[in-house]
Amino acid sequence: MATAVPDATSTGDPAPGSTRHRRSPGGGSRLSSRLGLRARVTVTFAIGALGLSTLMAGITYFTARQTFLNERQSAEQRQAFANAALVQNALRSPITQVNQLIESVDTLPGSRSVLRTGGQWYATSISVGQSAIPAGERALVLAGTPASQLFTLAGSPQEVIGVPLPAVHAAYFEVFSLDELAGTLRALAVALAAAALVTTVAGAAVGRWAASRALRPLAGLTDAAVAIAGGQLDTRVDSGDDADLEELAAAFNAMTANLQDRIEREARFTSDVSHELRSPLTTLTATVAVLESHRDQLAPRAQSALDLLDGDLQRFTRMVDDLLEISRFDAGSAELSLDEVDPVELVRRAVAASAPVDDEGVRGPVPFPVEVGAGVEGLRLQVDKRRFERVMANLVENAAVYAGGVTRVLVERRPVSVTYAPLPATSILVVVEDHGPGIPPGERDHLFERFYRGGRAGQRASSRGTGLGLSLVAEHVRLHGGRVWSEDAPGGGTRFVVELPLHPADDGDTGDEAVDAGGTPGAGVPA
Amino acid sequence: MSRILIVEDDERIRSSMRLALEEEGYTVDGVGSGEEAVARFATEPYELVLIDLMLPGIDGFEACRALRRTSTVPVIMVTARSDTHDVVAGLEAGADDYVTKPFVAKELAARIRALLRRSRHEGEDAAVLSFGDVEIEPDAGVVRRAGAEVHCTRTEFRLLCELANHPGKVLSREQLLERVWGYDYFGDGRLVDVHVRRLRTKVEPDPASPRFILTVRGMGYKLAV
């Protein structure tokens, strides 16, 4: 199989070969490691089949050739000696016309006779005369030894058999054409070569099939690994009833179970901590509220202390909430609760909900415009409203803390609505712009990391930021199958863009998310 | 002065909640277990009950079910988790609403006010409403099906009235949340879903394939005429 090639180079040279390298079949050869296992097995099978079929074809060819030649030669010899005897008898009679005699000799098709008698050469064919017979053969026979020789005449194989006739001072030669035999052997060679070729191809095919078949469990393993990488930690592989695979499958499953266990334990720990923190937070929140309602009775210093306490209690609560939310994402237990909504209303409501609350608990006005792009009206978006509200709140807050506040919010569609080529909308973009100092390109990639503050670390004096806001934005949006990124805003500042697909691949489990054909305007095609 | 019963095993939380709610003008009693709650509720009239889900002995779900067997008193679940499972289980046990720890006292007070207000103002729609074999007397707070009285909680009753007042019209979950619970746009739609489900078991001949209270996919709910 594929491991047949011994690894000669790496055994004597342990330094560069990593364990993996040395373990790979034929690891010394760069080519073989570049080829896939399947390709290597295929090539090995093909080479094996080629070698074997070539050997078999060669043996067959040479055996057949020898057999044919032997049979042919013995037949020729019989005839040549019979004819020689005939010629000798005829020459004994003095009246014999040598020319007639040589014509009358009974020959096989394609054989020609040459006779030397009385110092003269006679031949039945003009093309095959005394000169056609090799000189060595001539000399040997004329010296009195019967001999045969293979030679080539005008490109075609011939055999000459010479019989000395000492009794009549003559020598009889018969030249046999081996064209027919050569033709047969040629045909045989072609047939054998074709057979070898077919065998090679078949060998390659068998090799490929066998490799595929042997690798099929590997495909299952690959699928499982991909699923696990995608977050489905409960994925396990099934070894079937294959004893060879059982060990691998068991090891793989054990590894995955370990991994799942660890991840779940970590997520559970975060979740448990957050839950445990909620009890004292509940007490704190309730008692601070009581203190707040008696604020007037407190001395100014106590009031300041209460404000600090209240502010950081809120921040602490937010942080615990955010940690709990993050731990759900980490545990893969975050669920979408989809509603079908008007995206413009959704954004307006979310923006309104992000406006600051005054002391009486009344929401203030939204200090920036919400602009709606062409073709957005009438679209329906499937969204988890609570999560979207968190996304907007976090983006608005981020802008408030780091960039002096949001300057405008845009709701657009993709692809952009154009009247001459109406394309159905596939996603909604919600753009949150600010006129802040902007974000260096190098920092943009890190913005959505947890607790990332980057070059803005000096500005953390806010009582609101938890450091998890933007990473939660990214998680919420990702859960919807959407994307979020930041870019330079035209005219300076930064814009955060949230893209939400109109038709998320994974429908939630609310059962109410499907489109009511009669109730929703067609998917956003401008009239 | 409304009387409220708090069922919470953590004594400190119970005390702080009592302080905060008394600040809002309520009379508050606290008990530490579901068994005590059921016993206390049987002897004294409370206008609203706050139940923590995690209790020693019988848990919050079971305590809620026990209360529901004898009373339609508004119940608010207090949960440490807002996971679907707990919320839906709590609502299915009969709770009218839920708050997640740590809650802001003002918000809890607002929820309590919303539940108490509507339990007092049920007489707005005087005319008798009816569909199928169901009759609703908004004044008396009575629902009858084929002549027999059906016991609805006040929230279920309010939801039923809301639907029956707009026969054939689709009401979105947001509209129902606002009108029945007093929530804004971002209220939890699961409140509506679970209450509709509960309502169906009471007024539908076959709750699995409803004939009256219909789901309009992607839109909301409506009462079929």
**Can you give A61-95 as a three-state secondary structure string?**
HHHHHHHHHHHHHHHHHHHHHHHHHHHHHHHHCCC
Cβ atoms < 10 Å from Cβ of A284: 18
DSSP-derived secondary structure for B49-97: EEEES--SSS-HHHHHHHHHHH----EEEEES---HHHHHHHHHTT-SE
When scoring A276, A281, A285 by the number of chain B Cβ atoms within 10 A, the one with the most, hence best to mutate, is: A285
Q: What is the CA radius of gyration of chain B?
A: 17
Query: Which residues are bridge partners to B220 per DSSP?
Result: B216
Q: Is the pTM of this model over 0.80?
A: no
Cα-based torsion angle of the residue sequence A23, A24, A26, A28 in order, rounded to the nearest 10 degrees: -70
Q: Which two tokens mark B200?
A: 């169906």
Q: Which of A290, A320, A516 sits opposite B19 (nearest CB)?
A: A290
Residue A124 makes CB contacts below 8 A (sequence gap 6+) with: A102, A103, A105, A107, A112, A113, A114
Residues of chain A with CATH 1.10.287.130: 243-327
Residue that the structure tokens 């706050």 belong to:
B50
**Contact check, Cβ <8 Å, B185/A340:** no
Q: Does A295 touch chain B (CB under 8 A)?
A: no
pLDDT of residue A249: 84
CA torsion sign for B51, B57, B61, B63 is negative
Question: Using a CB-CB distance cutoff of 8 angstroms, which residues of chain A are in contact with residue B186?
Answer: 349-350, 353, 385-386, 389
Question: Using a CB-CB distance cutoff of 8 angstroms, which residues of chain B are in contact with residue A387?
Answer: none
Question: Using a CB-CB distance cutoff of 8 angstroms, which residues of chain B are in contact with residue A386?
Answer: 186, 188
Average confidence score pLDDT of chain B: 87
**Contact check, Cβ <8 Å, B215/A275:** no
Residue that the structure tokens 């939380």 belong to:
B13
pLDDT of B15 over the 90 cut? yes
Residue A311 makes CB contacts below 8 A (sequence gap 6+) with: A463
CATH numbers and ranges of domains, chain B: 3-120 (3.40.50.2300), 122-223 (1.10.10.10)
Query: Which residues are bridge partners to B171 per DSSP?
Result: B221
Chain B positions with Cβ closer than 8 Å to A:
10, 12-13, 15-17, 19-20, 23, 80-81, 83-84, 101-106, 170, 173, 184-186, 188-190, 193, 215-220
Cα separation, A437 vs A263, in Å, equals: 39
Helix axes B154-165, B189-203, angle to 10 degrees: 90
> Which residue, A461, A447, A344, A449, is CA-closest to A400?
A461
Distance from CA of B1 to the nearest CA of A (A): 19
Higher pLDDT, A459 or B82: B82
What topology is assigned to A336-358+367-501 in CATH?
A: Heat Shock Protein 90 (3.30.565)
Distance from CA of A274 to the nearest CA of B (A): 9
Residue that the structure tokens 């707070």 belong to:
B141
| Closest residue on chain B to A350 (Cα) | B186
Q: Residue count of chain A, please give it.
A: 527
Question: Using a CB-CB distance cutoff of 8 angstroms, which residues of chain A are in contact with residue B8?
Answer: none
Q: Which of A289, A328, A515 sits opposite B106 (nearest CB)?
A: A289
**Contact check, Cβ <8 Å, B81/A512:** no
- Burial grade of B65 (CB within 10 A; 0-12, 13-18, 19 or more): middle
pLDDT of B49 over the 90 cut? yes
Q: Which of B16, B20, B189 sits opposite A339 (nearest CB)?
A: B189
**Reduced DSSP (H G I as helix, E B as strand, rest coil) percent helix, strand, coil of chain A, to 5:** 55, 15, 30
pLDDT of residue B124: 54
Per residue in A315-339, pLDDT (tens digit) is: 888 888 888 888 888 877 788 888 8
Residue that the structure tokens 């009471």 belong to:
B202
Looking at 3.40.50.720, 1.10.260.40, 3.40.50.1970, 1.10.287.130, the CATH number of the domain A243-327 comes to 1.10.287.130
Residue A220 gets the label, from left (phi > 0), alpha (psi -120 to 50) or beta, of alpha
Low-confidence ranges of chain A (pLDDT < 70): 1-33, 359-361, 417-422, 454-465, 504-527
Q: Does A384 touch chain B (CB under 8 A)?
A: no
Classify each residue of A458-492 as buried b or exposed e, where b means 16 or more C-beta atoms within 10 Å of its C-beta: eeeeeeebbebbbbbbbbbbebbbbebebeebeee
Q: Which of B13, B23, B185 sits opposite A279 (nearest CB)?
A: B13
Angle at A126 between CA A121 and CA A132, to 5 degrees: 65
Q: Are A380 and A341 in contact (CB under 8 A)?
A: yes
Find the helix or strand (DSSP H, E) in which A322 lies: helix A300-331
Q: Which of B13, B188, B189 sits opposite A282 (nearest CB)?
A: B13
Please give the single-letter amino acid code of residue A90. A
> A28 φ, ψ to 5°?
-70, -30
Q: Does A95 touch chain B (CB under 8 A)?
A: no
Q: How many CB pairs under 8 A join A and B?
A: 104
Question: Residue A2 has what DSSP assignment?
Answer: G
> Which residue, B133, B138, B136, is CA-closest to B123?
B138
Q: What ipTM score was computed for the predicted complex, to two decimals?
A: 0.85
Question: Using a CB-CB distance cutoff of 8 angstroms, which residues of chain A are in contact with residue B16?
Answer: 282-284, 286-287, 290
Q: Which of B19, B186, B220 sits opposite A286 (nearest CB)?
A: B19
Cα separation, A292 vs A298, in Å, equals: 9
Residue B52 gets the label, from left (phi > 0), alpha (psi -120 to 50) or beta, of beta
Cα separation, A6 vs A32, in Å, equals: 12
Question: Using a CB-CB distance cutoff of 8 angstroms, which residues of chain A are in contact with residue B189?
Answer: 337, 339, 385, 510, 512
Distance from the Cα of residue A52 to its chain's centroid: 33
| Closest residue on chain A to B110 (Cα) | A361
Question: Using a CB-CB distance cutoff of 8 angstroms, which residues of chain A are in contact with residue B109?
Answer: none
pLDDT of residue A201: 92
Q: Does A98 touch chain B (CB under 8 A)?
A: no
Q: Are A288 and A302 in contact (CB under 8 A)?
A: no
pLDDT of residue A321: 86
pLDDT of B14 over the 90 cut? yes
Q: Are A253 and A236 in contact (CB under 8 A)?
A: yes
Angle at A219 between CA A214 and CA A224, to 5 degrees: 135
Distance from CA of A294 to the nearest CA of B (A): 9
Q: Are A230 and A261 in contact (CB under 8 A)?
A: no
Residues of chain A with CATH 3.30.565.10: 336-358+367-501
Cβ atoms < 10 Å from Cβ of A33: 15
pLDDT of residue A31: 56
Cα separation, A279 vs B15, in Å, equals: 12
Cα separation, B117 vs A384, in Å, equals: 30
Find the helix or strand (DSSP H, E) in which A148 lies: strand A147-153
